[in-house]
Structures are given as C-alpha cells and as structure tokens.
Structure 1
Amino acid sequence: MNIISIKDLQTLCPAENLAADSEGALLPQPWLTDDAVNTRIAQLVSNTQNVVMLPTFIFICWWRDWITEKKISSRNLSYLKDIKPSDTVIFPRCVQNDDNPETGNHYILWVFSGRVHELRVYDSMGLYRDIPNQQMDMLCHAFSQTWNLADWTVCYPSQWLQSSRDTNNCGVFVCTMAEMELKSCSLATEVVGRSQMEHMRKYHAAALAEGVQIEDSMRFPSKTQCMAGALQVCCYQSVGEKGTLYSKVVQVLWVQCDLCLGWLHMDCAGVSEAEVKKGKFRCGCDIPQPYTFDSKIKALKQGVDGLISDTEIKALHDALQTEEKKSSRFYLWKHPEVSLKLKQCLKPKQCSFSDDNLVKLADKIRAAVKPENSLESLDYIFDVMLPEVTLATFMKHLNICRYAGEVLMASGQVLLL
C-alpha cells in the first residue's frame, strides 16, 4: 500500500477548504509536494495493467549518472527491469531550467506509449513541449533494452491548460492528465479555471485519503520529539516494526534550542556535548529568511576547492563508515532493506550547485574517498556524500548547525552555485 503524510495530503486540500463556510471564498491552493504527486499517480497506475509509473526523483538519479559517466548505473535502471515493449510508462517531472534539470517548481508529465511508439508531453503552461537533446539522449540510453526512442514521435496532444494567473496547480493538472491517459479519454484544449481546479483537488485528495495509508507523524523512542523528524532526517527515527535507525546506540543525547525551545538529538543538531556545554545552542530558528549565502559564494569563487578540502571529505567519509558520525542517509544506504520508502524520500531532490560545479565536486569526492566501483559508487556519492558535504560546507562557511543546514536544503532556498 502507498503511504502519504497528512502534510503532503494537505497540499492537495488544506483543512480550511473543507469548512462549511468556505463556499464561494477564495480558497488557498498550495503547490503540491513531490510525494503527493508521486503517491497519487502510483495509486492510479496500481489499478491498471501494462502501465509502469516512474516517480519524479528517478530522473534526477539518471541525470546525475548521465552527466558524470554518460551512462546509468544498473541500480538506477532497476525500475525498468519489468517493462515490456507494449507497456505504457507514466513519468511525472518537476522542471524549470533545461540547463539544470534537477531544479524546478513546475510539474509536467511524460507518457511513453510502447504500443504506438509515441512520447506524449503534458504541460499545463505549454512551456516544455520539446525534450532537450541531452535529455533525449539519456532517455534513449535508459530505455534501450526495451525501446528505440530515436524512432519515436514526440507530441503535445490536446489537453487542459492552466490560466495564465495560476502558478500553483500544475501538480493537480499532472495527476488529472495521468488519470485521463489511463482511461483513454480524449480532451479538447481548454483553460481550466480556479473553481474547477478546486474540485479536482478535492477529488484527488478524497481518492488518496481512501486508498492509501496516512502517516500522521513520525514516532520516536523518546517522549521528546526531535525536530529533525519533521524533515525525515532524524538519525534515530522510527521505521515501524524494524525499530529505529542506529538502534544499537545505547545512549542518545539531546539538546534544546534556547530560542524556540525545540529539541534535537545532538547527532541531528550536528553538535557535541562539549560544544553544548560551552554556551547557548540555537537551532537556526533565528536565521532571517530568505537566507543570503554571501560567504559560501565568496568561497566558491575560488572553485570547489575553496569550499572543502580533500582531507575534510575523507574525514567525513571515514566518520560515516565507522558510525562516529550519524546520518540517516548513510544508514539507509548501508541498510536499504530497513525502509525503502524513507531511503527514497532522502534522495536529494535538488542540488545547490550548477552542473559544472556539481561534476567538479563529485569528482573531488570520488578522488578523496577512492571508491572501488566507479559507476555504482555514483549512488553513494550523490545520495550520501554530496548532501553530507553540502551540509559540512554550510556548517563551515555559514556558521550554522547541521539541522539548520537541513532546513535550508529542504526549503529550496539554496542558491544554484
């Protein structure tokens, strides 16, 4: 069964939209989270034969492999292992910048039809009708065991569109277009208004609430909740019947923010007991928003070597391997069977670096840790070391704690450096 959190579900239909006196009011229509879009489309596909759904983060995994090695690791291609030539693949994307496809805030939908050798593009704003050459080369490589995409037709079929003033409902549109595709519905091109979008939101939210398991919140072994749990990055969070991450740790130390009074595990805060005893601890709740990254940009002007040294990267890698440093990303990399869902949630959904600097930093990490298998190690580098190194640079150059760095990464405020 698919799982969705109440937080994600409320991006489809906020609680105030269900109030009895909301009729006729201008209701909030927030931007959908990736988990809301992925879970709804997965739910739709689960009831349909010969259709495979690829979640949004798969493109990021493929792209990182492609720009670095010009091929995709077998681990990241495992999602395609059961695809048959006559199947249909539903692939939602989050786009904005063709130069760096990892970042974006606009959902579109790709539908690969093996039956008619056609790739249909659904984009409620009509901005991404074509597929850039480099992305198409990557897709040709990814699907090469099943299809020859070079011979396929890419088309932009008749579809519903958002109004020019609507910038938040692309996720609802993608979920709706996925359902129309699965039901083989032909659509006339027309602009869908705000009130119609509100009906679609309630429809999809009701279907999700009925058909999936809803997680109210993460549960922790202590009566005190770690704030990092809300971001799903707590080092000791519960994984259901399998207990908690780092379950063999006997003594877990806590620290309280002197401003907001929230609690964090010291490992989640990224501070030691000795550091806490020296003075007050602040979790980052006092950081002005949006945050400026002047010191980090200044360091990056010297190149990626100005951010972090090879010695620091190697020390970070060694500390993770020996578990001297705790990281939910590393633990789930090492023990993916504990929670595949949580492992996928922790995959970086965006990167703070431009493509050029991303490749340079990945090469720098690879040279520092010296992995044995160059292609398979990309997953470790991108899923574990790149976010951990990014956090380390935040702590070093911005003088903030680890948790504050996690908040910045999760907020999407990180600049493209």
Structure 2
Amino acid sequence: MDILSLAFQNIWRLKEWSISYPDQWRQKDGVNCGVFVCTAAELDIKGTDMTNEPLNQVQLGHLRMYHAACLIADSVPKGKKVRESCMAEAIHACNYYDSTRKGQSRPLYPHVQKEDWVKCETCNGWLHKDCACYEPSQSGIFTCGCDLPEPYAFTSTLTSLRDKGVEGLISKERIKELKEMLDSGERKSNRMFLWQNPGGNRALKTILNGKPTCFNEKHMNDLIDLIKPTLSLDYSLFSNIDFVIDVMVPEATIDILVRFEGFSRFYAE
C-alpha cells in the first residue's frame, strides 16, 4: 500500500480503500503478468468472481489484444470533436476563446495556428495547456482538480499568508517575471487580451472582474500595494491602474494557488 499511496497520492484517497484477496486465475509463465493484473483488476471492479484455474495461450492472446485495444481507445482522442471544446470555456476562463456569446466561441488569438492540449486523467476532460498552466516538462499524471475536496480549505496559502504576509506568497521577482511573460505572450491570458484590446467583449470583462478570490479585502490591498511599486508604472494613466487591478492581481493570485496548492490554472479560476 505504501507504493500505491506514493503513486496515486494526488488522485485517490487510499485511506478509504479496503484490501481483499479474491481468487485469481493462475499464471504459469513469466511474460503475461500485465494481462493477469489488468484482467483481475477489471473483473474485481465489475464484481465478477474468478476461479483459481490456469489460462491457456489462446485465451491469454485474446486478453492481451483486448487490454491493448482498451488502452489505445482511452488514450487516443476519439476524433477531433473530443478536443473542440476546452473545459475552461464553461466558466469563461479559456485563454483562447471568448464563450460569452451563446452557441459561438470567438478566438482571442486567431493567428495562433497550433493549440496544445492536455487531458485530465481523472475526468478525461480536455484543457489547453495554457488554460491548465501545464508545462511540457512536467511529468506524472495531470488532473484538472476535479478530484479535490469541496469546499477547499487553501491551507498552504492561508498558513503562509498568516505567517509571512503577502510577501511570503509571491516575490517581487516573480511579479516581474509574470509581467514579462504576459507582455511577451509566453503566458496566454484572456485578461491580458482584454486589457490590450479595450474595445473587446465587455461581457467577458464583467465576468472576469466579478470573480471572488480566496483573499479578504485587506490581503487584496496588500497584494496591490506590493505589485504597484514593483512594476514602477506611470499610475497617472488609468490604463496602468487597470492593468494592475484587472490583470496582475488575478494573475498573481492564480500563480500563488498553482504554486502553493498545486492547482491547475483551470481549478484556480
């Protein structure tokens, strides 16, 4: 169970598991271990009893083909239609499409020819990698956050906030780095798009600006007071004030939740 706990620590709550030792088909070779394990697991989940009998090579061959087909079917998108929609569109948090218009999604970056995707291994939903804040260098299983408890306690974030204040959550260097990524387009953000295109969709801007955060008013003001002098912008221009409040504050908050709580960007939104 220690190995399972380490392997699936971010997916299943193993404390709720019980251990059983059902009858299994007997293995008489050293090459079909995976076939036996996959078959035993599937039949146990389905509640089908097995008998303690050996399987012949013909049966094992059929089972191997069956499990291979199941793995391929589960890992390969079932046609382009599977990935036509990003889960973040449902909460108007997609960084590539504005979905506020009923029945029609408007691309925010029509010049982008390639959109990279990542699939949640728990719910099988799809997200743009930018909407998931998923880096190609990341290894392991990706989950969008659908397996996290509700309501979420934000323990790591709030503990650091209590002990060290806002400065303990995000450094000035990280704030500058975020701005550079937003300016260069390395980090896609629908908030950045709306700030750069003030004549854009007002409905989307209203939705994004109306989202609450896990911080109270004092902490939000502390975050603003940290960001403003760090960026050294000309705050006599209302557009720069809007940039701090409408873009940098939510982007910094999302970055904090991704790093402290291990959220995907989608779940942080």
Q: Hey, what does 1:305 align to over in structure 2?
A: 167
Matches within 5 A, 1:1-20: none
Contact 2:98–2:204 under 8 Å retained in 1: no
Is 1:380 aligned with 2:243? Answer: yes
| Pairs aligned (count) | 184
Q: Hey, what does 1:249 align to over in structure 2?
A: 112
CA shift digits 1:42-85 (9 cap, x unpaired): xxxxxxxxxxxxxxxxxxxxxxxxxxxxxxxxxxxxxxxxxxxx
CA shift digits 1:243-291 (9 cap, x unpaired): 411222121001110010000000000012222xx22110000001111
Structure 2 distance, partners of 1:286, 1:237, is: 25
User: Could you say what secondary structure the match of 2:127 adopts?
Assistant: strand
Contact 1:348–1:383 under 8 Å retained in 2: no
Is 1:330 aligned with 2:156? Answer: no
Return closer, same or farther for 1:243/1:298 CA change in 2, 3 Å cut-off. closer
Q: Is the helix fraction higher in 1 or 2?
A: 2
The amino acid across from 2:151 in the alignment is: P
Structure 2 distance, partners of 1:295, 1:242, is: 36
Q: Hey, what does 1:69 align to over in structure 2?
A: none
- 1:348 Cα deviation (Å)? 3.4
Return closer, same or farther for 1:258/1:366 CA change in 2, 3 Å cut-off. same
The amino acid across from 1:297 in the alignment is: L
- 1:339 Cα deviation (Å)? 1.4
Matches within 5 A, 1:251-400: 251-275=114-138, 278-301=139-162, 302-374=164-236, 376=238, 377-400=240-263
Structure 1 distance, partners of 2:105, 2:227, is: 32
Structure 2 distance, partners of 1:258, 1:306, is: 32
Which entry has the higher C-alpha Rg, 1 or 2?
2
- 1:346 Cα deviation (Å)? 1.2
The amino acid across from 2:267 in the alignment is: A
CA shift digits 1:148-199 (9 cap, x unpaired): xxxxxxxxxxxxxxxxxxxxxxxxxxxxxxxxxxxxxxxxxxxxxxxxxxxx
Return closer, same or farther for 1:381/1:280 CA change in 2, 3 Å cut-off. same
Q: Is the strand fraction higher in 1 or 2?
A: 1
Structure 2 distance, partners of 1:308, 1:234, is: 24
User: Could you say what secondary structure the match of 1:274 adopts?
Assistant: coil
Return closer, same or farther for 1:375/1:360 CA change in 2, 3 Å cut-off. farther
Return closer, same or farther for 1:348/1:243 CA change in 2, 3 Å cut-off. closer
The amino acid across from 1:286 in the alignment is: D
Contact 2:194–2:200 under 8 Å retained in 1: yes
Structure 2 distance, partners of 1:289, 1:242, is: 29
User: Could you say what secondary structure the match of 2:142 adopts?
Assistant: coil
Structure 2 distance, partners of 1:300, 1:374, is: 30
CA shift digits 1:325-344 (9 cap, x unpaired): 00111111111323122122
User: Could you say what secondary structure the match of 1:362 adopts?
Assistant: helix
Matches within 5 A, 1:138-157: none
Return closer, same or farther for 1:243/1:346 CA change in 2, 3 Å cut-off. same
- 1:374 Cα deviation (Å)? 4.3
Is 1:403 aligned with 2:263? Answer: no
Identity of aligned residues (%): 37
Contact 1:259–1:285 under 8 Å retained in 2: yes
User: Could you say what secondary structure the match of 1:326 adopts?
Assistant: coil
Range with bigger deviation, 292-301 or 242-251: 242-251
Q: Hey, what does 2:89 align to over in structure 1?
A: 229
Give the TM-score, by structure 1 length. Answer: 0.42
Unaligned runs of 5+ in 1: 1-220, 407-417
Structure 2 distance, partners of 1:389, 1:246, is: 22
Contact 1:235–1:245 under 8 Å retained in 2: yes
RMSD of the alignment, in Å?
Answer: 2.1
Contact 2:161–2:168 under 8 Å retained in 1: yes
- 1:238 Cα deviation (Å)? 4.2
User: Could you say what secondary structure the match of 1:264 adopts?
Assistant: strand
Give the TM-score, by structure 2 length. Answer: 0.64
The amino acid across from 2:226 in the alignment is: K
User: Could you say what secondary structure the match of 1:337 adopts?
Assistant: coil
- 1:404 Cα deviation (Å)? 1.2
Structure 2 distance, partners of 1:251, 1:400, is: 25
